[in-house]
Amino acid sequence: MDRIAIIDLGSNSIRFIVMQIGEQGSYKLIYQEKKSIRLAEGMTQETRLLTEEAQERALKCLTVYAHIIEVQKVKKVLAVATAAVRNAVNGASFLKRVHMTTGISMTIISGRAEAALGFSGVIHTIDRKDFLLFDLGGASVEISLVKNKKRLHSVSIPYGAVTLTEMFQSSGTVSQSKLTEMKKFIQAKLDKITWFPDTPLPVIGVGGTVRNLAKVHQRSTGYPLPKLHNYNLPSEDLFEMVKDITSKTFEERQRISGLSSERADIIIAGALTVQEIIRKAKSSYLTISGCGLREGLFFHYYDPIYDKDGDKRQHMLINSVKNYLHTVTGEYAFHSRYVTALALSMFDQWKHVHGLSSRMRTLLMAAGFLHDAGSMINYYNHARHSAYIAANAHIFGWSQKEQVMCSLLCAFHHGFSGKYTKNNEASKILSEEEMLDVRKAALFLALAEGLDESQEQCITQVICTSAKDAMDLRIYTSRNNFDVPAHATGHLLREFEKVFRVPLRVQWFPGSRNANKLVQTARKL
Amino acid sequence: MDRIAIIDLGSNSIRFIVMQIGEQGSYKLIYQEKKSIRLAEGMTQETRLLTEEAQERALKCLTVYAHIIEVQKVKKVLAVATAAVRNAVNGASFLKRVHMTTGISMTIISGRAEAALGFSGVIHTIDRKDFLLFDLGGASVEISLVKNKKRLHSVSIPYGAVTLTEMFQSSGTVSQSKLTEMKKFIQAKLDKITWFPDTPLPVIGVGGTVRNLAKVHQRSTGYPLPKLHNYNLPSEDLFEMVKDITSKTFEERQRISGLSSERADIIIAGALTVQEIIRKAKSSYLTISGCGLREGLFFHYYDPIYDKDGDKRQHMLINSVKNYLHTVTGEYAFHSRYVTALALSMFDQWKHVHGLSSRMRTLLMAAGFLHDAGSMINYYNHARHSAYIAANAHIFGWSQKEQVMCSLLCAFHHGFSGKYTKNNEASKILSEEEMLDVRKAALFLALAEGLDESQEQCITQVICTSAKDAMDLRIYTSRNNFDVPAHATGHLLREFEKVFRVPLRVQWFPGSRNANKLVQTARKL
């Protein structure tokens, strides 16, 4: 078991995490801390000096972290400093002081390295191919163009939320002319980027400013999930919010629901920067990434040891689900894999009937793996607990809607429940069509679960066909009777007819001597 | 690792559970199934024969269970048959048939044994001393008088919800005169109990009828918890419900929210029986036990092996929490125990200031053990996940209110959150005073958690005193600096003043060379 500590000393905040790597390379976060220490504060363009006060704030924090690193038996420390230290003339001597005081060896990373690491943190946790990425910090903003999951171009602009605020003195009430001046300044910097795409491109944003803007948006719209990572903020709404924020006094901004009061001074500079990037990219929404530099540092360490061939990065969601299950149970029961194989077999054979997307197939697979996880909370109502876990676990590679869908698939693995849906706030982010898709996919999971009720994997094959007025399911079982699975699937027929508009005709073939293909498939999952 | 299967072949339903006993005797439910097979149906007072149809329904079910027992590698099967088989003239031959067909050896238990086992299931899962207990089944009702956790008297009356329904033909619409007749019949049976207490006594009820009545009550009052075990149903409300139910037609009863449609026929006989027992006991409420015969059978097996001296039965809640944590993590981190010791130390020293009950102390202890359990779902927001676990885990020995309180203590272990409380439906069952008590106790947990932020157990002692206008906390730490704990507790001071109406004055004593009493205490917890 390895423990890796990661420290990101930014210009506005300092962030600290401890990751634990266990069996088969499964990893999890076991500690995290964040403090707004404003290292760049008071560092003017002229002097470019980290002030004594700012250094002391950072040192105090780092002493605490060094202490925790020692106690937690951390094997490896990856500590980096970004723009504030990079731009300061006394940056190197400050890092010597850090080392003397705390024993932590901290590296200054270049804007280019910062962009690379930020990209890595995002590409390991959001399953998208083409996008414009930016990471807005206190003293710089890194922008990258990503095509087919590769970073084509990057640039680091040495202005961030803290430094722009000081430069334009925009911490209080800001006049319209000052706002225009700031916008023009930011636009000029962006216009210098030669490779900035002309055609509209989705934008993913990283950093405290975007997280805060997303939080304000979630509060104002009553969004039912408490999650920022992979949240989509429509550009129209963003522009409205920026207009509102920039017209308010400092005190008024402090009272905005969702806005951190520590950020009420620098939010204007931050929000304007975000707005100008989105505008220039002509993106219709901004996706928030809660992961960036720190996660990038982690994977920079992890990948060469545990994912040499990049397999885990390939099927992000499924591998992330497996990773999660490994951290909690060491190994998940074969029953879950077998049920998944069975559900997918039905999904695939009836593809032309249900018309569900291949993405829904992936969600069904994820739900299959997770469907019994809730038993660790309580066997009673474990479908509901599995749904809670799916909705809240540290799993990457799905959109927030997809996470809700997978959670519902888990909840319905013994059958659909209208009552559960009604009381589940999160399900309200799905459209009626999406909910119907979930109910269809859930039936394959529920049928599979019922067919392996006795957890002995005796169904050797299912053959799924459809006629004009019915769907047909032929079930081959190695047992001589089919009481158990018949007993456990009978109650699903009504829901089947409701959802697919035709009845399901089930035929049983006991005493099957076929090779158990489903077990073979399950072993490979 | 042992697996124990338990089968309870009742007169109305058959129930099947598999329990797993792991390390250090920690046990958990891993499988459960229930089927309404109506074994007593058609068995008249005259013939007293289990009908062929009823036998076949039972055999079909038992074949399924036998199969699961085989697949699940169950070591021990405890299978009992109650009133229907006991009262039938062909009961013994039916059990022979069961053995021939399924291999399951089933024992007929006497009414007396049934009462004893039901009592055992309740006394292991509800922490009460004095009560009247009844278990209403399909063909009998067992009543026991419990004083100081001992069963003083028991009786088994050979009439239950199914047999009374057939006797009085009360499955459809029932006339007022028929109802009176039924009540009189039941009263006459109860009046024969010589030891029935004269003074009011709380009543605990077991069985499908009481669970269903509780569910109807929960639905009609919009009760926010989905849990029946240890639910209190006020007698006034019960009498109203019985009046309503008995005045309805069969079809109308089928539509009652919360009432199982399978039970719409026998609910009148069942509800009247419950009502007459409550009335005679002059109890102001009925407590529902979701545990009974099956759990009793389990503990009958478990106690002589794993709890010889009865220690686990002594401190039910705390031992149940420990049991739960053992089933999920094998061992819980020492940090949790140490934080618990610290929180309890503050609780005890400030006892005269906060005035909280000793029961709240027990809840604080439970929350201390559970406060980090949520990390297995996600480190982010783990306080909220721990709260979910506390609210849903298979833990016994608390009332539903107490469980909600403990869940809130977990949720607030980094500090109180008004937003969490607002969105948490369950917290609405607490009064304002109870919520204030929770906030007080939560502060001790949050202070303790902050003091062990670095998880190195360096606080050797805390001394808690109070003056007229302040509370004083003197903290002794073996470290030479106190940056970490000061950093992690500072944000609690405001909440402290809000809740206790006086400020908290903190004094630090670094470099303490005292023996670490808190570690010593924690080891013993």
| pLDDT per residue as tens digits for the range B404-440 | 999 999 999 999 999 899 989 999 999 999 999 999 9
Q: What is the DSSP letter of A397?
A: S
Q: Domain-by-domain residue ranges, chain A?
A: 2-109, 112-293, 315-524
10 Å Cβ neighbour count for A58? 25
For B485-505, give one letter per residue: b (16+ CB within 10 A) or e: bbbbbeebeebbeebbebebe
Q: Looking at domain B315-524, what is its CATH homologous superfamily?
A: Hypothetical protein af1432 (1.10.3210.10)
Would you say the C-alpha torsion B158, B162, B166, B170 has a positive or negative sign? positive
Give the gap in angstroms from C-alpha A193 to the nearest C-alpha of chain B.
37
pLDDT tens for B333-349 read 789 999 999 999 999 99
Query: Residue B38: beta bridge partners?
Result: none
Give the pLDDT score at A234. Answer: 97
Predicted-complex ipTM score: 0.91
% residues pLDDT > 70 (chain B):
99
If you compute the radius of gyration of chain B from its CA atoms, what whole number of angstroms results? 26
Pairing of strands A2-9, A13-21: antiparallel
The correct CATH number of B112-293 out of 3.40.50.150, 3.20.20.140, 3.30.420.150, 3.30.310.40 is: 3.30.420.150
Give the pLDDT score at B332. Answer: 55
Residues 412-451 of B with CB under 8 A from A: none
Picking from A67, A453, A484, the nearest residue to B454 by CB comes out as A67
For A452-473, give one letter per residue: b (16+ CB within 10 A) or e: bbbbbbbbbbbebebeeeebeb
Q: Please give the structure tokens belonging to residue B261.
A: 């449609």
Give the gap in angstroms from C-alpha B188 to the nearest C-alpha of chain A.
39
Q: Which residue in B332, B370, B377 has the most chain A C-beta atoms within 10 A of its own C-beta, making it the best mutation to test that interface?
A: B377
SS3 A160: coil
8 Å CB contact of A30 and B71: no
Picking from B64, B456, B483, the nearest residue to A487 by CB comes out as B64
Query: Residue B287: beta bridge partners?
Result: B204, B232
8 Å CB contact of B375 and A64: no
Calpha distance B307→B292 (Å, rounded): 19
Calpha distance A213→A240 (Å, rounded): 11
- Give the pLDDT of chain A (525 residues) as one tens digit per residue: 899 999 999 988 899 999 999 878 999 999 998 888 889 888 877 889 999 999 999 999 999 899 889 888 899 999 999 988 999 999 999 999 999 999 999 999 998 999 999 999 999 999 999 999 999 998 899 999 999 999 999 999 999 999 899 999 999 999 999 999 999 999 999 999 999 999 999 999 999 999 999 999 999 999 999 899 999 999 999 999 999 999 999 999 999 999 998 899 999 999 999 999 999 999 999 999 999 999 999 999 999 999 988 888 888 999 999 999 988 875 457 899 999 999 999 999 999 999 999 999 999 999 999 999 999 999 999 999 999 999 999 999 999 999 999 999 999 999 999 989 998 999 999 999 999 999 999 999 999 999 998 888 999 999 999 999 999 999 999 988 787 788 889 899 999 999 999 999 999 999 888 888 899 999 998
Phi-psi region of A90 (alpha: psi -120 to 50; beta: other; left: phi over 0): alpha
Q: Please give the structure tokens belonging to residue B69.
A: 């027992």
8 Å CB contact of B379 and A28: yes
Give the gap in angstroms from C-alpha A492 to the nearest C-alpha of chain B.
16
Q: What is the dihedral angle through the alpha carbons of B303, B309, B314, B320, rounded to the nearest 10 degrees?
A: -40
8 Å CB contact of B379 and A455: no
Calpha distance B97→B83 (Å, rounded): 18
Calpha distance A344→A434 (Å, rounded): 19
Residues of B in contact with A484 (CB under 8 A): 64, 67-68
Calpha distance A477→A256 (Å, rounded): 61
Give the pLDDT score at A83. Answer: 86
Picking from A30, A67, A392, the nearest residue to B377 by CB comes out as A392
Q: Is A483 on the interface with B (CB under 8 A)?
A: yes
Reduce the secondary structure of A78-142 to three states and give it as a string. EEEECHHHHHCCCHHHHHHHHHHHHCCCEEECCHHHHHHHHHHHHHCCCCCCCEEEEEECCCCEE
Q: Is B236 on the interface with A (CB under 8 A)?
A: no
Mean pLDDT of B54-63: 93
Q: For residue B230, which of B403, B410, B407, B369 has the smallest C-alpha distance?
A: B403
| C-alpha distances out from residue B200 to B132, B142, B203, Å | 10, 19, 9
Q: For residue A201, which of A292, A287, A293 has the smallest C-alpha distance?
A: A287
CB B516 within 8 A of CB B463: no
Residues of A in contact with B392 (CB under 8 A): 377-378, 381, 385
Picking from B384, B385, B484, the nearest residue to A67 by CB comes out as B484
Residues of A in contact with B487 (CB under 8 A): 64
| C-alpha distances out from residue A277 to A152, A175, A179, A282, A405, Å | 18, 21, 15, 9, 32
Give the pLDDT score at B485. Answer: 87
Q: Is A388 on the interface with B (CB under 8 A)?
A: yes
Q: Is B32 on the interface with A (CB under 8 A)?
A: yes
Give the pLDDT score at B187. Answer: 97
SS3 A235: helix
Calpha distance A498→A249 (Å, rounded): 56
Calpha distance B202→B221 (Å, rounded): 22
8 Å CB contact of B377 and A385: no
Calpha distance A367→A342 (Å, rounded): 13
Q: Is the pLDDT of residue B331 over 70?
A: no
Question: Chain-centre distance of CA A404, in angstroms?
Answer: 13
Q: Is A313 on the interface with B (CB under 8 A)?
A: no
Give the pLDDT score at A492. Answer: 95
Longest distance between any two alpha carbons in chain A, whole Å: 86
Q: Which residue of A has its CA nearest to B18?
A: A379
Proportion of chain B in helix, strand, coil states, percent, rounded to 5: 50, 20, 30
Q: What is the DSSP letter of B262?
A: G
Q: Is B67 on the interface with A (CB under 8 A)?
A: yes
Max mean pLDDT range (A97-101, B81-85, B516-520): A97-101
Q: Which residue of B has its CA nearest to A328?
A: B376
Direct distance between the N- and C-terminal alpha carbons of chain B, in angstroms, rounded to an integer:
25
Q: Is B219 on the interface with A (CB under 8 A)?
A: no
Q: Is A380 on the interface with B (CB under 8 A)?
A: yes
Q: Is A393 on the interface with B (CB under 8 A)?
A: yes
Give the gap in angstroms from C-alpha A302 to the nearest C-alpha of chain B.
19
Q: Is the pLDDT of residue B289 over 80?
A: yes
8 Å CB contact of B381 and A481: no
Say how many CB pairs under 8 Å bridge A and B.
Answer: 90
| Sheet arrangement for strand A231-234 | A150-157, A141-147, A131-136, A203-206, A285-289, A231-234
Half-sphere exposure of B445 (CA within 13 A, CB side): 33
In degrees, to the nearest 5, what angle opens at C-alpha B190 toward C-alphas B184 and B196? Answer: 145
Residues of A in contact with B327 (CB under 8 A): 376
8 Å CB contact of A394 and B378: yes
For A69-99, give one letter per residue: b (16+ CB within 10 A) or e: beebebeebbbbbbbbbbbbebbeebbebbe
Query: Residue A4: beta bridge partners?
Result: A19, A76
Give the gap in angstroms from C-alpha A290 to the nearest C-alpha of chain B.
11
Q: Looking at domain B2-109, what is its CATH homologous superfamily?
A: ATPase, nucleotide binding domain (3.30.420.40)
10 Å Cβ neighbour count for B182? 22
pLDDT tens for B152-197 read 999 999 999 998 999 999 999 999 999 999 999 999 999 999 999 9
CB B302 within 8 A of CB B276: no
Confirm whether A2-109 and A112-293 share one CATH topology: yes
Q: Is A20 on the interface with B (CB under 8 A)?
A: no
8 Å CB contact of B392 and A378: yes
Phi-psi region of A57 (alpha: psi -120 to 50; beta: other; left: phi over 0): alpha
Give the pLDDT score at B383. Answer: 96
SS3 B327: helix
8 Å CB contact of A64 and B32: no
Residues of A in contact with B381 (CB under 8 A): 226, 392
Band (pLDDT 50/70/90 cuts) for residue B330 is: low
CB A499 within 8 A of CB A440: yes
Q: Is A333 on the interface with B (CB under 8 A)?
A: no
8 Å CB contact of B226 and A455: no
Q: What is the DSSP letter of B94?
A: H
Residues of B in contact with A223 (CB under 8 A): none
Picking from B29, B63, B384, the nearest residue to A379 by CB comes out as B29
